[in-house]
Structure formats: structure tokens, C-alpha cells
Chain A
Amino acid sequence: MELLGNLWLGLQVAGEPITLAYCFFGVFLGTVVGVLPGIGALAAISLLLPLTYHMTPAAAIIMLAGVYYGAQYGGSTASILLNLPGTPSSAVTCLDGYPLAKKGKAGLALFVTTIASLAGAMSGLVLLVLFSPLIAEIGLKFGPAEFFSMMVLGLVAASSMTAGSPAKGLCMVVFGLLLGMVGTDVNSGVARFSFDVPELTDGINLVALAMGLFGVAEVVRSINSADLNRKLEKVSLASMMPTRAELKTTVKPMARGSALGAALGALPGVGPSIAAFMAYAIEKKVAKDPSRFGQGAIEGITAPESANNAAAQTAFVPSLSLGIPGDAVMAIMLGALIIHGIQPGPMLITEQPALFWGLIMSFAIGNIMLVVLNLPTIGLWVALLRIPFAWMYPAILVFVALGVYSVNNNTFDIYSVAVLGVMGYALMVLRFEPAPLLLGYILGPMLEEHLRRGLLLSRGDPMVFVTRPISATLLACTAAMLMWAIWSTVRKSIKAKRELEVAEQLSS
């Protein structure tokens, strides 16, 4: 069995003591940033990125991935105990998790979400193992046209499915693509938009951009708002044990959530947040008594939690097998691989089997670590929530500065973080989602390269993108998504205009 051999190879890589240590450090740190509202997985991963330069590629990616899925576990803790989502994808868990905690069932809720997270992650993992090599094989038949269309689909999906308006998301993607243009053009050697600054001829530093957009902006916003000096009840281990009846009610939502999350996560542009929201909506639809939702329905936390963890695993499918990141975290992860000289794409699985299968097996190990880490140490996480943010944010700022400095040993990068931090904060204030911007920034150079190559091969005939069947299908999906986004925006703005007219009539 080839699959078994691969898994065995992965187990050997992931089972090395030093890799295990990095994996543990990753999931531990992920849980911490997940628990603490205000610092997301993105900020934590960008903060760690410079540290990985001194590691082996496998250890680096295993640690960063650990932060990513670890944060999904920790995110539910703050949602349940404080009604504050630690990560965006656990916002749904607040809806029923916090009412459960108020009823004195916080322990039960924490236990159930941990188990649901494990179940989701494991089913996502199975999908990842089965489908990544298959998709990579298809990917080998991809030409520049297919890659271009796939990236366009991913970018449009990521921007039109964000929380805000699709037009704003698209703005962010295109702005990100343009920021990706800064630096030397590979084809002609011309330094574009570099303003004769030597540092800018290499382009905008990825670490500086990610830290400015997510680290600095989040810190500035949270300085006053994230003070959590509230009373938190003690959660004992005994209070966590569900009764047999309670356990029985969680099995089906867990299965549905896992399946939905695993399927959605594999699509480019659909992250854990969307998977969690859809899982919640579905549970509400199939429930016999939908009115219980929002008042502490246990299905309302199990399904979204298993969905977001399943999606967090399958998000690696397009990233690793095609080299096209589905969301901003995956984009940074691919950035880390590229820095290590590894080109993500369909060849990755065959050229770097140790890295690929090692990463996969580390998911299994890391998720089990998380359950062991989360259940007995719940008291520690509750205590962590009591630390005032003011004690931490100065350290975060200094670490951001030194982290980005360590990439090139150049203070120019710290100044860029300051500038990009102002930009990130401005975007946050104006309610523009920065994640699609980062995705655009990473994909920009690749997108341009494939577009150029595609049109060079067809001698400038743009029809090449619609005459090749795979490419045409991908573009058709993109078009459908755009039409839907335009339609919903138009409908919304007509409604808003009517509201404004009514309000003005009332006030005059």
C-alpha cells in the first residue's frame, strides 16, 4: 500500500523529538492566541515567521500550522466564558456557548467543543489525505491558463464571501495585487513603484505587511476595549463530563458539522468562519425546535466547532496540492515555504514527500495534543483571560519590531511596519477586511506571471482562457459568484436608500 508507506514516512518525520517539540510549541501558542481576544492566528503566525528562518522547512511549517489549528480550539474558550470570540471563526460559538455558561454549564460546553473540534479536525484530515494527491495529479495537467483562472476564482471567492460588502472585498484584493507589483519585474528587470528606495526593489516585506495589517492594527484597536477584568467562574473537571443523553445529542451535529466544514474548507476562498456560520444555519434548519437556538442549544456549539476545525485542515488541500492559498493564513504559510526555497504546487507532494506527509501526520499528533492540553489545563486558560491587555501590548509591539528586524537586519523594515500599521488601522476603521489584501499581495506576482505566460503561448489571444475546458469552468464559477455578489449588493442598497428616505421624512 502506497498510502500506508507515505503515512509511515510522515510519522517518522513528525515523530522526531525536535519536530514534536515545535509542534507542541505551535499548538500551545495557538491555543493562547485563540483564547486571548484581540490577537488572531494571523498576527501570531506573522510574528513567528522570522523565527522559522533558522529551522528546517518541515519544522517551520508544522509549527505555523499548529498555531493555525490550535487557535481554532482556543477560540471557543473565550466565546463560551466571556461572550467574546477569540478568533473570527468562533464568533458563532458565542450564540449558544455563552448562554450555556450562564446556565452554569460552562464546563460541559468547553468539553463538548473540544471533542467536536477533534472530530472535525480528524475528518478534515482524512479528506486531506485522500484528496490532496488526487488534486495534485490533476494540477500537473494545469497550464498557465488554468492556474490563472484558479487564482482568479480563489481571489473573487475570498473577497465576495467576507463579512463586509463584496465590492469592498474586491477593492482589497485588487489593492493587494497592486502592492504585490512593488519591486523588480522579473521579466524586464524594471524596478516598479520603488521610488529609488533600494529596500523597495525587493518588494514590500511580507512579514512587515502581515504584522502591520494584523499585529499593529489589532493592538491599536484593542488598547482600551479588550480589558477583561471580569469575574470568571471556576471550571472544574467534574463539571465537564456530559451525561449520556447529552452525549447522544451531540453526535449527529458533530457529524454534519465535520462533513460540511471539510467540504467547504477545501474550496479556495472559503475559510473556517464561513464553514462555522453555515453549519450553525443548517443545525437551526434541521432542529425540531429552532427556538432553543441562542439560548444554550448544545447543537449550536458542536456543529460550528467541528465545522471550523474540519475546514482549518482541508484549507491545506488547495494550498499544498496546487500552491494556491485559500485564505490569508494559508498565504503566509506558503510565503514561509517560498522563503525556505520550496515552491508550493502540484509537484510538492512528489518532490517533498517527507515534508508533505510529515505535515499531515503532525496534524493528527497536534490535534491529539490539543485535546490533552485543553481539557486538564482549562484553569490555566481561564487565568490567562484575567491578564489585562495593557500588560501585554507593549511587549507585542516590541516583539513585532524585533521580529521584522530579524528578517533582513535592517531598521527600514521596522519603519515599514509603522507605515503599514497606520494603513491597516485605517482599513479597520473604515471597515475594510484586510485578509483579502494579503491574499492579493501573495498571489499578485504569480497571477501576473501566469497571465503573461498564458497570453504569450496564445500569441495574445485572450480566448485561451475560455476555450480550455478546466479554465472555462473555473471562470464560469467566478462569473456566477460575481453576478450573485452584484445582485445582493444592488438589492441591499435599494433597501438602504428607502430606509434613508423614510428616516429623513421622519426627522423633517
Chain B
Amino acid sequence: MKITRDIHDLVGGLLMAAAGLYFAVHGSQYAFGTTARMGPGYFPVVLGCVLFVLGLLVALPAWWRRGQAIEVQWKNLGWSIFALVFFAAALNRLGVVPASFAACLLALVPSPMRLRTRLVVCASVALLTALIFPLGLQMALPLWPWSA
């Protein structure tokens, strides 16, 4: 194993500290109030500061620790998220059946599947989705582009 610093905690801790700082700074634009009568800014600012300190507490000791490299499955993440975003954009324009078929195709990109199986899986997902949501649960959604 290659010896590296504990990057997981280093990165994660710094991200948390940054988030804390952001909440504290952004929260200070709301009225702070007093301890007896807290304004809307009181709790977020205090918690933001706490998170900032906690993030540093996670990050600093990680510098003296051994760890492994971070592994990110970029392809899986990218295509899954793209599938969700595409589905959201297409849902009311194309209708449930085409939108879920296409989203399913996009989600399956990183998977090593034969083309025929792929199409069968997508068609089944589209069918099931149409049966469960608009038909079974009576959700008001267009099924096809021409019914939109």
C-alpha cells in the first residue's frame, strides 16, 4: 500500500469547516438578537462556528495519519445524476413513458450490458413506471409527448 496522508478526513474536514464558515458568515446578515430573545441569525451563526471548529478538528489530526487514496466512481455518479436531471426536464414535456425509458438508458451507460438486455430492461422500467405512478396512483402526468 502506498503511504499517503489520510486524505479522506483532510478533505472532508476542510469541506465541513468551509460549510460552517459559510453558514456563520451568511447567517450573520440576519438579526442576531439577544440570548433571551434570539433573532433568526442566532442559531445558524453559533452552529456555523461550531461546525467550523469541528471541521478543523477532523482535518488537522488527519495530517499525521496514514490513509488510502480517495476512490470516486465518476462515471457511475455522472450518469446516474444526468439520468435524474434529464428525467426531471423531460417529465412534463415528453411524458412518463419516453422520459423513464431515456433516463433508464442514461443510467445504464456505465453498466456492461448487452444491447438487447439493455432495451428490455428500459422498456420494463418504462412500463412499470407508467403502471404504478400515473395509472395505479392516479398521478396527473402525461404518458406520451402528444398527451402533454
Interface of A is mostly: helix
A178 touches B84 (CB 8 A): no
A398-B100, A507-B3 known; A422+B128 contact, CB < 8 A: no
A429 touches B19 (CB 8 A): no
B73 sits at the interface (CB 8 A): yes
- Residue total for B at the interface (Cβ-Cβ under 8 A): 72
B85 touches A493 (CB 8 A): no
The interface residues of chain B lying within 8 Å CB-to-CB of A398 are: 87, 100, 103-104, 125, 129
A459 sits at the interface (CB 8 A): yes
Q: What 1/0 mask marks residues of chain A from 41 to 72 whose CB sits below 8 Å from any chain B CB? A: 00000000001001000000000000000000
B27 sits at the interface (CB 8 A): yes
Nearest Cβ distance between residue B24 and chain A, in whole angstroms?
Answer: 9
A431 sits at the interface (CB 8 A): yes
A415 touches B66 (CB 8 A): no
A406 to B, closest residue via Cβ: B139
A151 sits at the interface (CB 8 A): no
Residue from A409, A430, A499 in contact with B70 in the complex, judged by beta carbons closer than 8 Å: A430
A414 sits at the interface (CB 8 A): yes
**Complex Cα distance A128/B10, Å?**
43
A193-B44, A415-B85 known; A171+B16 contact, CB < 8 A: yes
Interface of B is mostly: helix
Scoring A167, A170, A432, A459 by chain B CB atoms within 10 A of each residue's CB, the highest score goes to: A167
A188-B39, A411-B92 known; A394+B8 contact, CB < 8 A: no
**Complex Cα distance A499/B67, Å?**
11
- Residue total for A at the interface (Cβ-Cβ under 8 A): 70
**Complex Cα distance A497/B71, Å?**
23
The interface residues of chain B lying within 8 Å CB-to-CB of A460 are: 34-37
B66 touches A499 (CB 8 A): yes
B139 to A, closest residue via Cβ: A406
Residue from B40, B43, B70 in contact with A451 in the complex, judged by beta carbons closer than 8 Å: B43
B110 sits at the interface (CB 8 A): yes
Which B33-63 residues have C-beta < 8 A from chain A?
34-40, 43-44, 47-48, 50-51, 54-55, 57-58, 61
The interface residues of chain B lying within 8 Å CB-to-CB of A224 are: 73, 76, 110
B58 touches A168 (CB 8 A): yes
A187-B40, A192-B30 known; A421+B140 contact, CB < 8 A: no
A393 sits at the interface (CB 8 A): yes
Scoring B96, B103, B111, B133 by chain A CB atoms within 10 A of each residue's CB, the highest score goes to: B111
**Complex Cα distance A493/B71, Å?**
23
B125 touches A174 (CB 8 A): no
**Complex Cα distance A459/B34, Å?**
10
Residue from A192, A394, A499 in contact with B122 in the complex, judged by beta carbons closer than 8 Å: A394
The interface residues of chain A lying within 8 Å CB-to-CB of B19 are: 175, 178
23 A-B pairs (CB sep. < 8 Å): A174-B20, A175-B16, A178-B20, A181-B43, A181-B47, A185-B40, A219-B80, A220-B76, A220-B77, A223-B76, A390-B108, A391-B121, A394-B122, A409-B139, A414-B84, A414-B88, A421-B84, A422-B77, A452-B38, A455-B36, A456-B37, A496-B61, A497-B64
Q: Which 6 pairs from chain A and chain B are nearest by CB? A: A460-B36, A414-B88, A430-B12, A460-B35, A394-B104, A185-B40
Q: List chain A positions with a Cβ less than 8 A from chain B.
A: 51, 54, 165, 167-168, 170-171, 174-175, 177-178, 181, 185, 187-188, 190, 192-193, 216, 219-221, 223-224, 390-391, 393-395, 397-402, 405-406, 409, 411, 414-415, 417-418, 421-422, 425-427, 429-432, 448, 451-452, 455-456, 458-460, 462, 489, 493, 496-497, 499-500, 503-504, 507
Query: 8 more A-B contacts (CB under 8 A) besides A395-B104, A399-B129, A421-B80?
Result: A171-B13, A193-B27, A221-B73, A390-B111, A394-B83, A394-B121, A430-B70, A489-B61
Q: List chain B positions with a Cβ less than 8 A from chain A.
A: 3, 8-9, 11-13, 15-16, 19-20, 23, 26-27, 30-31, 34-40, 43-44, 47-48, 50-51, 54-55, 57-58, 61, 64-66, 70-73, 76-77, 80-81, 83-85, 87-89, 91-92, 96, 100, 103-104, 107-108, 110-111, 113, 121-122, 124-125, 128-129, 132-133, 137, 139-140
